[in-house]
């Protein structure tokens, strides 16, 4: 791809009819953060989905990116997340307002519970998840969030939330890459009309040296990173690769001009070994 805004990112329709870009840019404390690179992604590469969280601590810097990009707010998709220390009903709403203020926005496109466990003493995780989720439901009903979702939730967390609350999450964001393929969770999300989003699509770089990935990169004349991102997207996962390098971000966008053959998708599917390169929420009650 040449001039970098000459493409339009495909979208995934959420259960409430809102269209969410299938490709964005992630931000994380791990591996560093480059404000210039995120600005390049939005202004020069056509990326519209920016994924962040209070925990990562880049809200003020991202406010500057949003201003400097020149992209209308209505064309952007801003994801932010509620950290578990704010899982009280009132504290959740206050945390939301502070995040919006820090980012210089009036609303978020999606606000998520960041983690199924709580950091508040005295009550069980399930109760605190439900209380925080009810605050998000209220924000959604008031139009302050276009959608609401969860991150790192397993099936049992989603089942409990469905029993305890009114709005089924529009999105569930979890670790997803060739070595970590939670297929039962993906199928559950499909059945419940919850969009599936994956982070760490390159397994923090571990997938880039895998012989199968390298072989496919050579076959398609692409980079290993593009193979991993294309695989995620072809599996229907909203994908948010992270990089601090401008050339890598531009490369990560160039995944819509080719398609992996079914046999090659299956070859990557066989790479699953269950490893986590990030947090593992499996045992959170």
Domain ranges for the chain, please list them: 11-205+236-248
List the beta bridge partners of residue 110.
Answer: 79
What's residue 4's pLDDT? 44
- In the prediction, which pLDDT does 7 show? 75
pTM: 0.96
User: What is the spatial distance between Cα 143 and Cα 225, in angstroms, rounded to a whole number?
Assistant: 37
Q: Which residue is listed with tokens 């791809």?
A: 1
Mention every residue, 6+ apart, whose C-beta is less than 8 A from residue 203: 177, 178, 179, 180, 228, 275, 277
Cβ atoms of residues 147 and 110 within 8 Å: yes
- Cα distances (angstroms) measured from residue 204 to each of 101, 122, 225: 31, 36, 11
Per-residue pLDDT of the chain (285 residues), as tens digits, is 333 455 789 999 999 999 999 999 999 887 789 999 999 999 999 999 999 999 999 999 999 999 999 999 999 999 999 999 999 999 999 999 999 999 999 999 999 999 999 888 888 999 999 999 999 999 999 999 999 999 999 999 999 999 999 999 999 999 999 999 999 999 999 999 999 999 999 999 999 999 999 999 999 999 999 999 999 999 999 999 999 999 999 999 999 999 999 999 999 999 999 999 999 999 999
Q: Which residue has the tokens 């209220």?
A: 138
> Tokens 């302050």 belong to which residue?
144
Q: How many angstroms from the chain centroid is the CA of residue 254?
A: 19
Which H or E run includes 140? helix 125-141
Architecture of domain 11-205+236-248: Alpha-Beta Barrel (3.20)
């Amino acid at each position: 791809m040449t001039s970098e805004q000459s493409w339009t990112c495909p979208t995934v329709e959420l259960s409430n009819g809102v269209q969410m870009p299938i490709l964005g840019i992630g931000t994380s404390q791990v591996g560093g953060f480059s404000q210039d690179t995120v600005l390049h992604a939005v202004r020069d590469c056509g990326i519209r989905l920016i994924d962040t969280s209070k925990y990562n601590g880049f809200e003020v810097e991202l406010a500057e990116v949003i201003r400097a990009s020149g992209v209308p707010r209505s064309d952007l998709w801003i994801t932010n997340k509620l950290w578990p220390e704010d899982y009280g009903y009132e504290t959740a709403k206050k945390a939301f307002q502070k995040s919006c203020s820090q980012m210089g926005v009036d609303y978020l496109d999606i606000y998520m519970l960041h983690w199924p466990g709580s950091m508040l003493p005295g009550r069980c995780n399930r109760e605190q998840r439900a209380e925080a989720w009810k605050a998000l439901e209220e924000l959604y009903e008031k139009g302050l969030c276009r959608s609401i979702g969860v991150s790192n939730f397993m099936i049992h967390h989603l089942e409990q939330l469905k029993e305890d609350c009114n709005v089924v999450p529009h999105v569930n964001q979890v670790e997803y890459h060739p070595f970590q393929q939670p297929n039962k969770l993906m199928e559950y999300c499909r059945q419940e009309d919850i969009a599936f989003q994956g982070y760490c699509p390159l397994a923090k770089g571990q997938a880039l040296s895998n012989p199968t990935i390298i072989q496919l990169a050579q076959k398609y004349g692409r980079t290993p990173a593009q193979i991993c991102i294309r695989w995620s997207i072809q599996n229907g996962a909203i994908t948010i690769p992270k990089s601090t390098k401008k050339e890598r971000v531009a490369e990560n966008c160039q995944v819509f001009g080719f398609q992996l053959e079914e046999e090659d998708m299956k070859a990557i599917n066989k790479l699953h070994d269950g490893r986590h390169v990030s947090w593992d929420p499996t045992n959170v009650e």
